[in-house]
A and B are shown apart, each in its own frame.
Chain A
Amino acid sequence: MITFTPRDKVSKNWTIMGPALSIFFTVFFGLLIFALLGYDPLETLYQIFISPFSRIDRISDVFVKACPLIIIGIGLMLCFRANVWNIGAEGQFIMGTLLAGSFALLFPNVENKLLIFIMIFIGFVGGALWAFIPAILKTKLNVNEILVSLMLVYVAMLFIDFIVRGPLRDPMSFGFPLSKPYSDGALINKITFPGIGYLGQLHYGVLFIVLLIPFSWLFVNKTLSGFKINVLGAAPKAARFAGFKQNAITITVLLISGGLAGVAGVIEVSANIGQLQPEVSFGYGFTAIIVAFLGRLNPVGILFAGIIIATVKLGADNAQMSMGIPKVVTGLFEGILLFFLLTGETLQKYKIKWSKVKK
């Protein structure tokens, strides 16, 4: 029989131990499931967790993969801190990309890189507008934001499919559902290192993270707005007594997180794809939920979490190629990881006591 007693204050040890132990247990249970289903656990371990670090260009690809996850994760961090459950970042990513991409396609011959900066702004607006729907429904009519934001993911997926197969299809694409390629001004270049050249796919978009992490850290820790978000999430009653405008905060965090998801989409597509296609996201919006939690809703944590999860994603790609394991298995690890992380949060606040079963 296990009983929990509240701790006097949040355990510092568990704050660090929690995520570390969670990762350990996740690897253990994940491999156990693989073994039970008849895959070689050691080979899986190598492919998923180690092969992404086996070459320098692969390491830089981890950062490329982590880029959208971290950007979206930072936005979701604000939502989850305020106890607002935006799980539709995938849809906001798509709509931001679509709006910015449609804009870019109006300028087929522009080489000026000003275009990509305008696109990032438009991507933010597009994502924020898509998040505005659950925001306004939640605050005006008390409609559950979880279900609305999720339903809008399906709508966004179908919508981009329609646009790319219909109005924006490139007549020269030989029937493939692709838009015209972006002009040079709309692309994000790979970083050239003197003497080495390119490192995998590493592109200038990762610089956005270098700005975003310190900025968001200052926002949540040092500004009044950041403080209000924390209070609303941790103690909604206190927030009401203090006169914080709950609806305004809810709308703000949803708009920012939607906007950042849109920006992530613009950077991802302009750096790696260079045109619009029916599938632009590959589940980044959902994976970023795990990244936000693994990072303990903290900007620096999210940076590391993004890198860890990107490793697993790339590792799963490798495992698919070498072992024929379907790519969706990353979900298996992500799910287990989330379970243990949340358990860690309980252990931060409560002491466990083991006692004999009494009947």
Chain B
Amino acid sequence: MEALILTIIATSIPLLLAATGELITEKSGVLNLGVEGMMLSGAVGALGAVLWLENPYFGIIAGALSGILMASIFSIFTINFMTNQVATGLGLTIFATGLTGLAGAPLVGKTIPSLPKIEIFLLSDIPIIGNILFKQDFIAYLSIAIIIIITYFLKYSKPGVILRAVGDDHQSAHSVGYPVKKIRWYATCFGGMCAGIGGAYIPLVLTPHWSEGMTAGRGWIALALVVFASWIPWRIIVGALIFGGITIAQLVGQARGWPIPSQILSMMPYLATIIALTIISGRISKNNSVVPASLGKPFFDTQ
């Protein structure tokens, strides 16, 4: 049971990180559909760095940087050249799939050491909970820290309020004198960093070797999680755990030989995403205020 919970947590962490990053990006009014691509880059970056420097912590840094690099490409085109965000995001995922396939080719067949678990003094000795919550790896702690920080940031800090203002009404934010484009750049790069670390988590903890397209749609599920969470950070934790649970449940089902074909079981996370989106979207369309009002709209600063 304990092992099962630990696997569910591990499965949900990439989703949690990527969705949290995308939430900040979307709060600034930018819809980046390239999450899948940024995660893939994070994964290949982490693998390469760990093989080269032989220390899993460099994998985290490399993952973050790869994600930021991809987010910068997205930002140049959507924010500076004002291209369509949906199409550019798709392009980013397609681009990253090709780039990581090329960069990952020499890494095929090589295995990396996994990220060590860190025991928190005393707390890790608490029965059951200690093992589950306080013997995690660095990225797991980091992801929870990020959720707490951005909850505070969005609600109580001045930059957080400015970020939301830019996402809700960029024209007004611009007339008051806030640098809309700069803020969106930062928010998008933060999203890229989180997606990159989320992607890095996959080789660093889940499967320690490269395979093409190894994120397997997690980036898209992360995008759905943001909607599922109605742009409220802590709800991402709930959503990510539910999806982690469903993913593990179908794996357990396959291992135990449930009388359902394995392919049908493998569909569960994707079907669950559609069902969750349907339930939440119905509610959101009644109460539109949770969606950043300028989401996906390019900002033209006519001077």
Contact = CB atoms under 8 A, between A and B. Distances in A.
Interface of A: 2-6, 33-34, 37, 85, 87, 133, 137, 141-144, 146-148, 150-152, 154-155, 158-159, 161-162, 165-166, 286, 289-290, 293, 324-336, 338-339, 342-343, 345-346, 350
A324 B273 CA distance: 37
A131 to B, nearest CB: 14
B281 A143 contact: yes
A5 B261 contact: no
Contacts of B264: 158, 162
B285 interface: yes
B303 A332 contact: no
A342 B91 contact: yes
B87 interface: yes
A113 to B, nearest CB: 33
Contacts of A87: 90
A347 B99 CA distance: 27
Q: Most B CB atoms within 10 A — which of A4, A165, A324?
A: A4
Interface residues on B, range: 35 or more
27 contacts: A5-B302, A37-B102, A137-B274, A137-B281, A142-B284, A143-B277, A146-B86, A148-B277, A150-B217, A158-B263, A166-B261, A289-B94, A290-B94, A325-B102, A328-B212, A335-B95, A335-B96, A338-B90, A338-B91, A339-B95, A342-B77, A342-B83, A342-B91, A343-B81, A343-B83, A345-B84, A346-B83
A286 B94 contact: yes
Nearest to A328: B101
A293 B102 CA distance: 24
User: Which secondary structure dominates chain B's binding surface?
Assistant: helix
Contact of B223 (A6, A147, A165, A324): A147
Given A151-B220, A159-B263, 15 more contacts: A143-B277, A151-B271, A151-B274, A152-B270, A159-B267, A286-B94, A325-B102, A326-B105, A328-B97, A330-B98, A334-B95, A335-B99, A338-B87, A343-B83, A346-B82
B266 interface: yes
B88 interface: yes
Contacts of B303: 3
Contacts of B95: 331-332, 334-336, 338-339
A2 B281 CA distance: 39
Nearest to A38: B106
Interface string B249-279: 0000000000001011011001101100110
A303 to B, nearest CB: 20
B32 to A, nearest CB: 12
Q: Most A CB atoms within 10 A — which of B88, B101, B284?
A: B101
